[in-house]
Amino acid sequence: MSDYRDQNHEQNQGRENGSGQSGWTYYNGSQRPREERGANQYSSSNGWQEQQPQDQRPGQESYRWNYDDYDIPKNGGKRKNSGLVVFISIIAIVLVLGLVTVAGLGIYQLIGGAQQTQSGTESSEAMISGSSDYPSLSLNDKPEEDSAPSADGMLSTVEIVRQVRPSVVGVVVYDTSISRFSPTSEGSGIIISTDGYIVTNAHVVSGADAIKVVLDNDEEYEAQLVGLDTITDLAVLKIDADNLVAATFGNSDQIEVGETAIAIGNPGGLFNSVTQGIISAASRPVTTSDGTTTVYIQHDAAISPGNSGGALLNAYGQVIGINSAKIAADNYEGIAFAIPINEAEPIINQLIEYGYVRGRVRLGITVSEIDELVARLNDLPTGLYIEDIAQDSDLLNHGVQRFDIITAVEGEPVSSFADLSAILEDYSPGDEITLTIYRRGYYSQNDQTFDVTVELLEDTSGAVGTIQASPQSSSR
């Protein structure tokens, strides 16, 4: 019994000492008894000294530090160095594997790319050659043009533009009262002769101090104003050039509503722009603000500021009109007007020969309209209020004064520019005409109404019924 207790006591003592074993220490599968040591104390004179515990119980062995459990292996330093070597070796292997992988991928991509390129080339060649089983897109050159005209003589739009564009020019205007160094406006023109005569609109060049013409090949020339007519809004220029391409002119009396209309001009300075539409009306009367009624070709080819003076063409490449105006207002689109070439032809010829339109008459006065409302507000009769009288006017010889009112011409009442213009169209220079004059009496004088017969003058200035005049005044 005592032997069992002693053995059990030793086992418990081992557990109390925290070893978890019965006083045995294992080394490489063998066991040996632990060497019990007392507590140690260190002093600077004697070093480590073993101390006996003071509160040791009877029959209980004292706890001894087991140095063998903490002995550093003799080859511990070598272990530490070999671990560093292993770590570096692993890193090196990883780097080598990474480089090999990247190199392999690069080689694979090069080989694969070459194969894909070759495959793509073969595929493209197959598509172009039509050897593939899949449908393919085929590109073809334009067929060769047949130089022979169509049976009816009509040309395609491309042929028309190719033929006429060299005959359309840009007109650049300089007005030093507005700008000393920059152009003040731009328009278009049509070459009418190989030696440099060009037709354009009067409103394009009116008031210009200098005019420049730009040809289709970008050559520039200074132009001289030969003559202009503000009633028809036509002007003729001349440049010092030869061997120009003159336009071909057609017969505007033969046009029909619905046929092709092509406009070439320089809208916004975009030289030789081309638009296309149809003839909307062959003969459209339009009354301008000065009372002048002009017959226009109405069409819907797009025109903008800068198109004025440019060509309106038919399907044969012939100039049938000179673009002059459009309705530019909200809710209006595609309403453009061109001067019929049959109406423009005699005016152009006279401008070239005389510098003005012969046979036009004038009274030599500047007037304003007095309609019924203005007449009622001012207690005056309706008529034309004389604001100024020219020095060469025959009215001065018959006692007519400023602020008199013309109430009738040849017995017909007049209250607008249109009324007066319609009457004067039937007269020639040198003819006599009778005017009915109203003069208000001032102070103690009575109002007067009397007739005068005056001789009409020839208008050589081209300023009759000017478009630039105010709606309230005009020269006659």
CATH number of the structural domain spanning residue 187? 2.40.10.10
Rounded Cα distance between 441 and 448, Å, is 7
Rounded Cα distance between 149 and 163, Å, is 13
Active-site residue flag, 398? no
- Predicted confidence (pLDDT) at residue 65 exceeds the cutoff of 70: no
132 domain-assigned: no
Q: Which residue has the higher pLDDT, 265 or 22?
A: 265
Given the residues 203, 229, 273, 299, the one annotated as active site: 203
Task: Identify whether residues 374 and 445 lie together within a single domain.
Answer: yes
How high is the mean pLDDT of the chain? Answer: 80
- Predicted confidence (pLDDT) at residue 2 exceeds the cutoff of 50: no
Task: Identify whether residues 421 and 325 lie together within a single domain.
Answer: no
Active-site residue flag, 308? yes
143 domain-assigned: no
- Predicted confidence (pLDDT) at residue 314 exceeds the cutoff of 80: yes
Active-site residue flag, 119? no
Secondary structure string (H, E, C) spanning 143-205: CCCCCCCCCCCCCCHHHHHHHHHHHEEEEEEECCCCCCCCCCEEEEEEECCCCCEEEECHHHH
Considering 38-47, 412-421, 438-447, 462-471, the range whose residues carry the highest mean pLDDT is: 412-421
Task: Identify whether residues 121 and 174 lie together within a single domain.
Answer: no
Q: How many domains does the chain have?
A: 5
94 domain-assigned: yes
Q: Which helix (H) or strand (E) holds 76?
A: helix 76-129
At residue 146, the pLDDT reads 64
Given the residues 308, 393, 421, 475, the one annotated as active site: 308
Please report which confidence band the pLDDT of residue 186 belongs to, taking 50, 70 and 90 as the band edges.
very high
Residue 406: domain span:
361-475
Given the residues 188, 206, 229, 233, the one annotated as active site: 233
CATH number of the structural domain spanning residue 450? 2.30.42.10
- What phi, psi does 409 have (nearest 5°)? -130, 120
By C-alpha distance, which of 44, 67, 65, 63 is closest to 52?
A: 63
- Predicted confidence (pLDDT) at residue 84 exceeds the cutoff of 50: yes
At residue 474, the pLDDT reads 60
161 domain-assigned: no
Rounded Cα distance between 102 and 96, Å, is 10
Task: Identify whether residues 467 and 377 lie together within a single domain.
Answer: yes
